[in-house]
Each structure stands twice: as C-alpha cells, then as structure tokens.
Chains A and B, each alone.
Chain A
C-alpha cells in the first residue's frame, strides 16, 4: 500500500519538476522563439517535429506552452504568497488582540468571504486592469480572507492549549509565548491550506487568463493559449486540448502532492 502511494508520487513529482524547469529555464527545454511562426507550417497536428502541433500562424505550440509556464506559474505562486502573508498577518493580529479589534477584523473578513471568490477576483482585475501581475494580486487578495480565518482560529486554539498555559505559569512573557509556541504551532495548518490553495490558484489564474484578462497577446499564457485555439475547435483540436491538459496535469500534480504532504504531517 505505501509502495503504491509512493509510486503515485513519482508521476506528480515529475510533472511538477518539468513545469518548474519550463518556468525557470524555458530556453533549455525549447530553444525556439514562442512568438515567431513559420507560415508554411500552419495548423499541423502533433507529430515528431512539433510534439504539440502548430497554430494558425505556424508557431510551435510546445514552445508556446513552455514559455507560457513562467507567467502562469509565477502568478499562482505570487497569489498564494500574497494570500499567506496578508491573511496570516490579519489572522494573527485578530487572534492575539481579541476583544473589539478581533470582532471588527473578523466582520470585515466575513464580508469579503460573502462575495463569491471568482467575482471578487474579477472586481479587483476591473480596478487594476489586465496583466499577469494584476491577476496574481487579485487571486491573492481574494484568497487572503480564508487564510486570515484559519490563522485566527489556530492562534485562538494554541493560546488555549495546555502548553501555553504551562508557559504562563512558568512566567514566560507574552511576546515570547507568541514567538516560541503560538506561531510555530499555528503555522502547520496554514501551510497545509497553502498547498491546497496553490493548485486552486493555478486553475484560477488560467481561467482569468482564458477570459482575456491576463498578459496581452501575443505573449503566451496557458489560459490565453486555450482561448486562442477556440476558433479552431472543429478543425485543430490540439490547440485547445493540449494546453488545457497541461493545466490539468499541473493542477492535479500540485493537489496530489499537497494531499500526500498533508496526510503525512497529520499522521506524524
């Protein structure tokens, strides 16, 4: 059983490794220019020369997918980073302060959570304008509310725990208790949520980019690649299917590895 589980981790790890390599060093995986097409090579199906086929301008889809990794993944990582940092800070303040400030902050968080998250993202995009960085920020802001809620709950839980009580009897100061007991013990569930949110962010960033709010064309992004293939749905299936499959594979790999990490830290 554990063998099977380990076996399952390998494909996910490989997918993630390949995606990270594509994001960090796209030229290494595909030295071709993602923006330059060869008009004699238009709309070719996947084959040996072009593993993912070519588009209507004769550009290699594989190259475009590889070069689209960096903005797509960066946006997801930045989004989770923003959510974790902003959310944790808000949750920490609310959970530590308690009383009126806590009530006020949590009411505000409740209001943000009442708006469906994808709608909230689009509102932020409407204000900031389109672009990869703007989308990342929008996704991060919309996810921050959940993080602040989890962080606050954890801080409250740990503060009521037996070992914080013991520390208080020992005479340990409040700040020391916060730094040595509360923060480290509250970090675990927040980290678990972050792995969950990363897979989500990959999908959301792609969806927003699909709608045309990501980087302006002709820059390649996973979501906009799928959107660009829509007119050729009936004739050139690979233009939409293959980039979409890449998004699904990366999201699945992230979710799977996150799940494995979470269950492992739970059983420990």
Chain B
C-alpha cells in the first residue's frame, strides 16, 4: 500500500512538473518573444522598449537558467512578479483564492447531493416517465451556457425580485446566485456519471441476488449498486474541482466578483505570462492531488484493488 501511494505521488509530481515545463516552453520559448506576446501583435513594436522590458523581467538571461531558477523559486511558492501589476504573483493568488474556493465549495455543496439524488432516484424508480425525466435532466442542464444562466438568475432574482444583491462583495447572500450558477452544470456532471454507472450496475446479477434475498429496490440500489458505482463519481468530483476553478472565470465575470477566475481572465487579456503560468500550475496541482487522493482511496473501497496495490 505504501509503495502504491509513493508511486502515485511520484506520478502526480511528474505531471505537475510537465505542466510547468510545458507552460514555460509555450510562453517563453516557442515562436514569439514573451514581450511581443505581452504587447500584442496589434500594437507597433518599439525595439528599445522591447529590450528594456526584456531586461526588466530577466528575459535576457539564458532559457535554461530561467527555467531552473523559476522552478526552484516556484517550489517555495515564489512565482515571480506580475508583468501587469508588478506585484508578487504568489501573494496575489493567495489573496484571491479564498473567495473562489468559497464559490467552488458552495457549488459543490449544492451539486453533490443534488447529483446523487437525481441519479439515485432515477435508478430505482419504477415509474418510466419519472425515470426518463430525471435521466434527461443532466443533458438539458449541460446545454445551457453558464454565462447566460448567471445573467438570467441575476435578472430574475436581483433586478426582477430583489432577493439577492447584484454586486455586493461580502457575506453569504452574494454567494448564493454564483454558486447556484456553477452548481447546475456541476450537479449534471455528477448525475450523468453516476446514473450511467448505476444503470450498468443495476443490470449486474448481484443486484438480482440481493432482490432475491428479499431486499427492496431502494435497498438494492443504496446498499449494493451505489457502492459499486461510487468510485467513478468520486473521480469525477476531483475533476469537477478543476472545472469549477476554470468555470469561475465566467461566473466571476458575470457577477463581478473578485477571485481566481477574474485573475485568470485579466492575465489572459493583458497577457500577464508569469501570472497565467502560476495559475495554471497551481490549479493543475490541486486537481492532480485530488485525483491522487481518490485513487488512493479506491483500494479502501474495492478489495480487488487492495491486493493489486499491496
């Protein structure tokens, strides 16, 4: 078991390192000069200004030196300074993160129970129309653009019925609408993955065995099928966190909230490469660690994997 965890940990570290390397290569080595990316193709190029900027950000030093140096600093949480604001990237991210985490956490808190409920209900009800309707719900929710859903909610509940503030900055009230906006597609993801697995598991003979013993349909789903279907849904949840962070780009823009999403958006708009690289690496690291946690939990649930992991 220990070796299994160690191996998975090494794999996760390799993935994060690869993402760091990839972003470094794309931003600083591939065709264009980062300063030119930053200024943008549409603006005229002033050679003197370019070389001044290059010196300012240390871009005139050799690539290998910058890569190794940047990596060593990044390991200590130092991702350099922003091209745009001149502030330290790490500190800016740390400042913005809690608000986005609150948003993502709120969305998950709504989405997980909702997604589980939809899938569980659809799996065991005998009413065909109910099963069909519940089964169609995720596909329907996933066809709605998130940015539009947010605007419609704003229109209805901030301007139409003034229940929630349109752009307050504190408290729970301003968290509700953005969290709901993200929770709709998230619950659909969870319900879709879980229902698909549950449908497969419900056709397994062991479910017949359970019912032949005298178990009710609800019990057959809850005690038997759900347990077998839970792992893919948990893996999905780990990926969902990454989706929520990138989804916050849209939702934070719609609701004019500050957070990681706005940081990403402005880093892309102003081509603030150190900021963007740090955001990508940090987000990927979080998702990779969560996936790792689910993978490590897998053998705890499934005895067949326990033997293989040992």
Contact = CB atoms under 8 A, between A and B. Distances in A.
A119 B159 contact: no
B154 A233 contact: yes
Contacts of B42: 129
A110 B19 CA distance: 10
A255 B246 contact: no
A252 B147 contact: no
A119 B18 CA distance: 16
A212 B269 CA distance: 9
Nearest to B159: A234
Interface residues of B, number: 53
Contacts of A240: 148, 151-152, 155
A255 B141 CA distance: 11
Given A247-B148, A252-B140, A129 B41 contact: yes
Contact of B143 (A110, A123, A233, A255): A255
Contact of A122 (B22, B243, B268): B268
A203 B30 CA distance: 29
Interface in A209-268: 210-213, 223, 226-227, 230, 233-234, 237, 240-241, 244-245, 247-248, 251-252, 255-256, 259
A230 B151 contact: yes
A199 interface: yes
Contacts of B267: 126
A98 to B, nearest CB: 20
B250 A210 contact: yes
Interface in B246-280: 246-247, 249-250, 253-254, 264-265, 267-269, 271, 273, 276, 279-280
B145 A116 contact: no
Interface in A122-160: 122-123, 125-127, 129
A248 B15 contact: no
Contacts of B26: 123, 127
B283 A119 contact: yes
Nearest to B31: A127
A125 B267 CA distance: 11
Interface in B27-44: 27, 30, 32, 37, 40-42
B293 to A, nearest CB: 14
B242 interface: yes
A119 B143 contact: no
Contacts of A93: none
Given A111-B18, A115-B284, A210 B147 contact: yes
A126 B271 contact: yes
A134 B236 CA distance: 29
Contacts of B139: 255-256, 259
B145 A203 contact: yes
Interface of A: 107-108, 110-111, 114-119, 122-123, 125-127, 129, 199, 203, 206-207, 210-213, 223, 226-227, 230, 233-234, 237, 240-241, 244-245, 247-248, 251-252, 255-256, 259
10 contacts: A116-B242, A117-B243, A122-B246, A122-B249, A123-B276, A203-B143, A213-B269, A226-B147, A233-B155, A256-B139
Given A127-B32, A129-B40, A211-B253, 12 more contacts: A114-B291, A116-B243, A116-B283, A123-B276, A125-B268, A126-B37, A126-B276, A223-B145, A244-B151, A248-B145, A251-B144, A251-B145
